[in-house]
Amino acid sequence: MKRVLSVILLGAMAVIFFSSLSWLPSVGDPHSAPNTHVSPYYLERSYKDTGATNVVTAIILVYRGLDTLGETAVIFIASVATIAILGYKVNNGNRKSSLDDKTGSHEVFGGFVLNTAYRYMVPAILLFAVYILFHGEYSPGGGFHAGVLFGLTILSSQLITGYQQTILSVKLAVLLAGIGVLIYAVVGLLSFFFGGIFLEHGVLPFNIKEIGLQGLSILIVEIGVAICVMATIVVVFTIMDRNGGKE
């Protein structure tokens, strides 16, 4: 019965998806609404509206900020789903939570060369990640990219030095992923209490010039996104590794 319902649901989604394609404008059509109205508006008004010189950041975190909040929540849900599906080991027929497990399926790869490279490269990678995070408002980059670099740095630590030396347990990582989403949601919803719309930073009653206040709010949102992405990467890869990739 479940399979029949799944097939029916997938079929209905496929019909909706393919029927909606006819409503989309042709690729590169200069007379389409995105090319005649939306894009010119973003290019002309994004800095004045948002205070972000990076138009991509303005679009992702302000104009369609609610959509990006949903994407960030999906990333957090991915970490929870990974634990629900793979967060248990099967030993002698018994299921056991692997969240507190300090071992992994791999051998520790550390050695003189790797340890030396790790010691010198990690600070540089972290510094670059911080630069991308804080510079996302002005140039390509932002919370998603910085979060990936932070997460990969922690995973490198686990692979080279072992789980005993890790600075981020799975439980703490899940908590941080949720906090990242919460930071984003709180900053976005705060403007509602002062008569604005979601992520309308200029209405907040802080004694900062409007453009500066908007830039600060965007940075706080970027930090929330980075925390969520970093923590989710750690959760997914750590759980998969502790299960030996059998699943």
Q: Mind listing the pLDDT tens digit for each residue in 10-56?
A: 999 999 988 888 888 787 788 887 788 888 888 888 888 777 788 88
Q: What is the pTM of this model?
A: 0.78
pLDDT reported for residue 74: 94
Residues of the chain with pLDDT under 50: 247
pLDDT reported for residue 244: 61
pLDDT reported for residue 247: 46
pLDDT reported for residue 183: 93
Helix runs in 38-169, H state only: 39-50, 55-58, 65-86, 112-135, 143-161
- DSSP for 189-220, please give it: HHGGGGT--TT-GGGS--SS-HHHHHHHHHHH
